[in-house]
Amino acid sequence: MKTKKQIIGLFLTGWMLTTPSCTSESDFEQQQPSEKYTVIQEGYSFFADQKRYKEADVRRAQGGLCDVEWKILQVQRTGNELTLQLSKPKDCKVRYEFIWDGTLMESFPMMAHVFVKAVGENCVADEYEEEVIKVELNEVFKNLSVDEIANTNFTVRDACSLEDFRCTDDCNTYLSN
């Protein structure tokens, strides 16, 4: 009887030592963020800023965060280029903000979430027009290597609505009606 308990004890000990530990998704988000930085490009600004990201996440789809009525219609990724097709008020000067918290979720493949927000003044929403913004990922994700960018899936999140566009590998996703 004693050897049976010892065998079971050894089995359980071996099983516990060889079983991989589980880490919840929220633990991945607690990893050390990259250094805070800003990249200014024509038509948009890219912020690697954990505080700004958390603010967008908390205030998402609430009044007061978004002063322009706009939509993301399509997100397309081809290699190093992310292309967004957007709808905005006609003749409205809009500048877009891409907001990243500076972390990658270390899953396989790695994942990054980016908010997009439109900023403009005195935009009347009587008519709409489409606009295309192209983002070179290696220019805005300055602290990531070419391999890290290539192996990262991106979720583009509309800061003014609850629309998320999950971009796995090279992708072409549309707003669902």
| Cβ(44)–Cβ(95) below 8 Å | yes
How far apart (Å, rounded) are the C-alpha atoms in residues 62 and 45? 22
Answer whether residue 1 is part of any domain. Answer: no
Q: Sign of dihedral through CA atoms 48, 40, 130, 81?
A: negative
The CATH number that applies at residue 48 is 2.60.40.2370
Strands (E), the chain: 37-41, 44-48, 71-78, 81-89, 94-100, 110-120, 128-136, 152-158, 164-167, 171-174
Q: Sign of dihedral through CA atoms 10, 13, 17, 22?
A: positive
| Cβ(134)–Cβ(81) below 8 Å | yes
How many whole angstroms from its chain centre is CA 101? 8
Answer whether residue 29 is part of any domain. Answer: no
H/E run at residue 108: none
How many whole angstroms from its chain centre is CA 102? 10
What pLDDT score does 63 carry?
66
Answer whether residue 46 is part of any domain. Answer: yes
Question: What total of structural domains would you count in the chain?
Answer: 1
| Residue ranges making up the domain that contains 90 | 41-174
Residue by residue, pLDDT tens for the chain (177 residues) are 566 655 555 555 554 545 554 444 444 444 456 789 999 999 999 999 999 999 999 988 676 678 889 999 999 999 999 999 999 999 899 999 999 999 999 888 899 999 999 999 878 878 999 999 999 999 999 989 999 999 999 999 999 888 999 999 999 998 865
Answer whether residue 7 is part of any domain. Answer: no
Cis omega (within 30 of 0) for bond into 20 = no
| Cβ(54)–Cβ(60) below 8 Å | no
What pLDDT score does 135 carry?
97
Answer whether residue 75 is part of any domain. Answer: yes
Answer whether residue 101 is part of any domain. Answer: yes
